[in-house]
Amino acid sequence: MNNLLLQLNEQQLAAVTITDKPLRIVAGAGSGKTKVITTKIAYLIEELKMAPYKILAVTFTNKAAREMRDRVTKIIPDLTSNPHISTFHAWCSRVLREDFELVGLNKNFLIIDQGDQIAILRSLINEHFSHLPELKKYTEKKIIYRIGNWKNDLTSPLEAIEECYSGIERAIATLYQKYEDYLKTINSIDFNDLQVLVFKLFNEHPEALEKWRNRYDYVMVDEFQDTNDLQFDLIKFLTRDKNNLTVVGDPDQTIYSWRGAKVDIILNFTKSFSNGVSITLNQNYRSTQKILDLANDFINNNKNREAKDIFTNNATGDLPIIKECESRNDEARYVTLKIKELIKDGYEYKDIFVLYRLNAWSQEFEKEFQNNKIPFQLIGGIRFKDRKVIKEANAFLRTLATQDEQAVERVLKSIPKVGDVTIKKLKEKANDMNVSLYDLIVNEDELHINQVSKHLTTIRNVLSNSVNVYNESKNIRMTLQYMLVESGYIQKLKDTEKKEDLSYIDSLYDQLENFDKSYQPEDSNEGSTEKIVSYLQEEALLNSDADDIEAQKVTLLTVHAAKGLENKIVFVVGLNQDVFPGRLSSNSAREIEEERRTLYVAITRAEEKVYITYIKGEFSFISQSELAPSKFIKEFDQDLYQFEGKYQKSSNPFANTSHLSSIKSNQHVKTSAGYEKNDVIEHMIFGDGVVIEINDQTMKVAFSSSYGIMPISVNDATISKKN
């Protein structure tokens, strides 16, 4: 242990050894916070003789939790028990698995993901709100976000209905009620419920709270800047008056306010814990000093922060480069050229991140990299567990374990010779007979399903026999393999030559085989299918795209997905006004500060080199305007970066404004086609619009329809001036 402590700097050592009062560690980017957390866990066990299982450490991604567990195991390989290290949501799931009855759950409850939520809401809208076409303007994701906010604010459906006055808001609140009712019928909860129900458990059942307070002698919270009010309440429930809390985070990396994270929680920590103390880790072990100089100077533009300049003993390094590009194609070509140069200089493809604010910005880079045979991977695409084939396979297991209607319906849709008409008739017959869809297929007289379709006998036999297969083998992989083969599902994939889907099924078998081998029941008297439920709950809690990063490829990902990661080379692309910061963030000082923190996170992912690019002059539908440099570029000290402009005479990205002045001088000029600013025009496809800007042979038109602002040629034959 002493050797470990000798490896720490002065601030890190204090952070590890202070254990008698609430402690806030403000950990600058690259300052070794994971090392501090894992060393502190080892210190509690080795020096303070704390039982490992009495230590709770929570974070926000599976990747971070796994890294913590691995590091602790390396430090203390012969642990007699394990500290509980997990994500916040996984810990809440553990609490609810133990105290499910106190919050009105059944033992084998399931956790649904966003894909399930979308399917449920879509079905409820079609069933109950088809008379409200305006509700269809709201995407299911927006409705999920709205319901999530109500839940996090502890607002019940009835309270939400009472608070809503407009017709559409009241409809969404009513949908919230029907959504909650439906979840109860399928014995399921969503991600928001995990935290809400634990809060209710602790708030309404003092004996349960006392049990969980006594369960842990020490509590640690990683990425504390990402906590919301509800999560902070849970932390306070566990640790109030116990002086057994350490939180670690960086206010300058609070970039999840849209999930409810509040920077004020970490900034005002000592207001909640009056005897709390704070330590700042400001020595960076990741980046060169010139990268840190730019990052430090830039983030100082934020007002709502604590001063914290980070420094390093690493090499000084090269100045970050800011590059002006003519178009998105030009930007992608520039990055491609630089990557080729870097590879010649000895870097590898895996050393390179390309970061952007919006997923939509990746398209040009994907095309350019493919054309130039640069190997790349796109993080933020469809995750393994969200792939259609995996959701269908897991639906077979859900049907076996819980028999919920949504899973049964997904199974029916996935097997041969059963279509929507058959499923509709089955649901109607089940409703008429007042039985569940599963019972109709498996437990009622076969005559009933034969009246609907002659093709249902196979799935009836498979579902019925799978119970025996599992009870005899207690092997999830073997049982699923039986179900998929005997139902005709695997043959269907073969017949349609879906080789990739078949490989995903094989990967799922591997995953299940590992789960079968490692599974340890929490209760020796557990029910027959609780092992399957445990697998499904664990699967639902997986959340990290970054786990999928492969070697020897350039990685394309959003800044948010890159949080917690690092690499030698970082390209930050698309630094344009109304893109980064986005259009919707430009009017609020609070939102601008969050966008600034997001760019700070992007820059501080880099170890050796940073390239920042933007476009000047090209029209973009993303920004709904001609692309201009982000306001953030003005905030960079010109002595702290090297500028590469498309106009070599200028060293200032804002110096060349000829395109802007030409627009202003053209505001009252007629085009050769006779159009002027403020003319009302009619487009054959897009409808009526107003000319808001004219530039050479192109004009920008604001359409009254949902098309918004679009560039239109003045010689376009599909437009005409209205009188």
Task: Report, as residue numbers or ranges, the catalytic residues.
Answer: 33-34, 222-223, 253, 605
Residue 91, Cα to own-chain centre: how many angstroms? 18
Residue 717 is encoded by which pair of tokens? Answer: 């034959």
Q: According to the annotation, is 436 in a ligand binding site? A: no
**DSSP state at residue 629:** B
Q: Is the separation of the CB atoms in 32 and 287 below 8 Å?
A: no
Cβ count within 10 A of residue 512? 23
Q: According to the annotation, is 33 in a ligand binding site? A: yes
H or E element at residue 609: strand 606-615
| Integer Cα distance of 22 and 245 in angstroms | 5
Length of the chain, in residues? 723
| Integer Cα distance of 611 and 624 in angstroms | 25
Distances (CA, A) of 608 to 34, 58, 320, 611: 21, 31, 9, 11
Q: According to the annotation, is 407 in a ligand binding site? A: no
With 0-12 / 13-18 / 19 or more C-beta atoms within 10 angstroms meaning exposed / middle / buried, residue 478 is: middle
| Integer Cα distance of 538 and 385 in angstroms | 11
Residue 618, Cα to own-chain centre: how many angstroms? 30
**DSSP state at residue 521:** -
- Going by C-alpha positions, the residue among 548, 537, 463 that lies closest to residue 507 is 548
Concatenating the DSSP letter of every residue in 5-43 gives: HHTS-HHHHHHHH--SS-EEEEE-TTS-HHHHHHHHHHH
H or E element at residue 111: strand 110-111
Pairing outcome for strands 23-27 and 680-683: unpaired
Q: According to the annotation, is 185 in a ligand binding site? A: no
Three-class DSSP category at 205: coil
Amino acid of residue 139: T
Distances (CA, A) of 621 to 210, 579, 625, 659: 55, 10, 7, 19
Q: Is the separation of the CB atoms in 400 and 479 below 8 Å?
A: yes
Residue 464 is encoded by which pair of tokens? Answer: 């019925």
Q: According to the annotation, is 32 in a ligand binding site? A: yes
- Going by C-alpha positions, the residue among 296, 224, 292, 236 that lies closest to residue 264 is 224
Cβ count within 10 A of residue 73? 13
Q: According to the annotation, is 27 in a ligand binding site? A: yes
| Integer Cα distance of 239 and 218 in angstroms | 8
Q: Which residues carry a binding-site annotation for ATP?
A: 27-34
Q: Which residues carry a binding-site annotation?
A: 27-34
